[in-house]
Structure 1
Amino acid sequence: MMVSRFSLAVALWLVLAPMAARAESLSVDFSDLTLGSESFNNGSDGAGGFSSNGVFFRNSYNPTWQTWSGWSYSNQTDNTTAGFGNQFSSFAGGDASGDGIYAVAYGQSPSSVRFDLPELDPHRSPVSMSASFTNTTYAALSMQNGDAFSKKFGGSTGNDPDFFLLTIVGYSGLGASGDIIGEVDFYLADFRFDDSSLDSIVQDWTTVDLSTLIGARSIGFRLTSSDVGTFGMNTPAYFAMDDFSIRFSVIPEPASIAMFGVGLAGAVAIVRRRRGRIV
């Protein structure tokens, strides 16, 4: 009987091994895009956006004024030069993933800053979602030092409760449409502490858990700031993103389940035949 049980265990393992759950991921680190040294793509090609690993990043470019909104991508590393002329550099001095390229966003609302996710295989069950964020050099130095349009965060005393908040919103439809799945807040700068030594402007790449947005078909972004004037937000409406990732648990397809049934029946038959020879 012991041999029979061992044989059944081995046979079942051989059948069940291919059925074991496995993890996969959709990762967007922009390594599939190309750029020259210290350069950027801000949509001047008029394509209306770009795709990376199946995720579509919207861009709007005005050739008359040579202005853009939405998403661009960059490999610029200048984290010391202040002003609008350095709008495509991350304050971290490069990317998060090590391939050199990251995304830069400009705009205050999901209507201008959003990306669409590909339709997912129904046999893939999302279990987690995350992305890395940091400030652009333009926005960070504007908050750190002030400029002609924006105040120095903390004010002259350092005690003003300033903030620069990125809100990440998941939508059930493409193009930031449909129902809101959820929202995640991430402070790109936070000076609201009673202890001013805790005040900070994000410089390093920071991974943010977006798992509450699982099920979204598009992700939109909203920027708000304590520094608001007559014409709206004074803080430059920029941030940088890298390493967007969704991890999945792969569910076996019906064909695989059917094969499991056939294999199990075969395993039982093998054990029965072996049992007849055991003494």
Structure 2
Amino acid sequence: MYKTIQTTLAALTMCSLANAFVIDFESADLPADSFDTGPIATGETTETENPFGSDGLLITTTGTFDFLGGVSFSNVFNLYENPPGTESTTYWNGFALSNVVDTTTPGIPNQYAVITGGGFERGSGVVEGSNYGVVYNPSQGSAVIEIPEELGGLQGIMITNTTYAYLSMANGDSFAKQFEQGDWFQLNIIALDDEDNVAGSTNIFLADFRSSNPDDHYILDEWNYVRLDQFGDATTKLQFQLYSSDTGQFGMNTPAYFAVDDLLLTATAFAGADPLTENWNASGWFGQYYDAELPWVYHETLEWIYLDPTSIPSDVEFWTELWGWVSTSAEAYPWVYQFDTGEWLYYFEGSSEPWVYYDSGTNEVVEVD
């Protein structure tokens, strides 16, 4: 039963919330069919003698593309400033951002394209021309994703081939062979903690021709979800290593490229919560909760809530029979934002049967039995 009490709670203040979710690169401002390899203005720049020109300079800018809550994707941009009269050249590694749609042009000039023709969007599949990340990773540590510790653990990431690598394996080129029986191209994802200790690793085959049955051979040409939640909340970095059956005098002949999209954070909304008894935890801002049945969570006073699994630890969305879908954060709670009404509600913590909250839209205190 609902009953209202007219009141004014002028002393209470509300915080604005950002709706944080999976990192899909769509917030990057890229013109259609274009790419961004850096240099990133916030990065550190150094100048050294150009190893390829007696009078030139090598200008190296080390920076990051930053998204949601400070998650960073490394980028190194080198400008070889050659002597007067000769053309300067550039070289990058780590991450580039792209929405290039070319799936047919072979070779390094098309190194920024993904074989799917676009990024991955949840609920829509591949969307032609949408943003994604291109990774050039010639050695482990060339590309690094850093996740702030307060964001907690990872759920997963979407992976596929670039057009450059795919067509190189499918047809061969001036450096690499056409893949045949016994060949393979593998990505190793390495999870590190804040002291750079290895927390674990997982592998994905970007191409696999090892089977004796040709019908089993494939070169990955669609977005593939790779789970990362097995590494736990301690992971603060991801590094990558590529391996290929096609190697030569100078290492791997297969182009050291792959593409990423939809880095999903996090498996639980309350990173840093203290464990109590089995599956019971205590969050410093949300209180005690039971999480053995995620995404359903039993809260000590709100009872059963359905947690949006794409929420991050300090900025969460959940459904409850009391309010429907709401959003809150460590800074805002016990204020919650109700999506259906577009209003802020102030929950009187500890209240339960009846639940008591203030509705800023009606300027009333509501009790619900």
Which bracket does the TM-score occupy, shorter chain normalised? 0.7 to 0.9
Q: 2:177 aligns with which of 141, 151, 171?
A: 151
Q: Does 1:70 align with 2:94?
A: yes
Q: Given the superposition, is the C-alpha separation of residues 82 and 249 from structure 1 closer, same or farther in structure 2, using an over 3 Å criterion?
A: same
Q: 1:228 aligns with which of 247, 261, 273?
A: 247
Task: Find the counterpart in structure 1 of residue 25 from structure 2.
Answer: 30
Shift of 1:265: 9.9
- One-letter amino acid of the counterpart of residue 78, structure 2: N
Task: Find the counterpart in structure 2 of residue 139 from structure 1.
Answer: 165
Q: 1:171 aligns with which of 175, 192, 206?
A: 192
Shift of 1:26: 4.4
- One-letter amino acid of the counterpart of residue 200, structure 1: Y
Task: Find the counterpart in structure 1 of residue 65 from structure 2.
Answer: 50
Task: Find the counterpart in structure 1 of residue 150 from structure 2.
Answer: 120
- One-letter amino acid of the counterpart of residue 104, structure 1: V
Q: Does 1:241 align with 2:267?
A: no
Instruction: Measure, in 2, the Cα distance between the counterparts of 1:100 and 1:232.
Output: 33
Shift of 1:168: 0.5
Deviations 1:193-216 (A, max 9, x none): 010111000001111111122321
Higher helix share: 1
Q: SS in structure 2 opposite 1:111? A: coil
Unaligned runs of 5+ in 2: 1-18, 44-62, 81-88, 122-126, 271-281, 289-299, 302-347, 355-369
TM-score by length of 1: 0.76
Verify the 8 A CA contact 1:163 1:189 in the aligned structure 2.
yes
Higher relative contact order (CA 8 A, sep 6+): 1
TM-score by length of 2: 0.58
Instruction: Measure, in 1, the Cα distance between the counterparts of 2:21 and 2:157.
Output: 12
Shift of 1:32: 1.4
Task: Find the counterpart in structure 2 of residue 90 from structure 1.
Answer: 114
Shift of 1:247: 2.6
Q: Given the superposition, is the C-alpha separation of residues 197 and 26 from structure 1 closer, same or farther in structure 2, using an over 3 Å criterion?
A: same
Higher strand share: 2
Q: Does 1:192 align with 2:210?
A: yes
Instruction: Measure, in 2, the Cα distance between the counterparts of 1:39 and 1:167.
Output: 28
Unaligned runs of 5+ in 1: 1-23, 268-279
Identity, in percent, stands at: 34
Q: Given the superposition, is the C-alpha separation of residues 162 and 50 from structure 1 closer, same or farther in structure 2, using an over 3 Å criterion?
A: same
Q: 1:107 aligns with which of 104, 126, 137?
A: 137
Q: 2:200 aligns with which of 170, 179, 182?
A: 182
Verify the 8 A CA contact 1:129 1:247 in the aligned structure 2.
yes
- One-letter amino acid of the counterpart of residue 71, structure 2: V
Q: Given the superposition, is the C-alpha separation of residues 187 and 253 from structure 1 closer, same or farther in structure 2, using an over 3 Å criterion?
A: same
Q: Root-mean-square deviation (CA), in Å?
A: 2.6
Deviations 1:212-245 (A, max 9, x none): 2232100001100000000100000000000010
Task: Find the counterpart in structure 2 of residue 263 from structure 1.
Answer: 350
Q: Given the superposition, is the C-alpha separation of residues 44 and 193 from structure 1 closer, same or farther in structure 2, using an over 3 Å criterion?
A: same
Shift of 1:262: 7.6
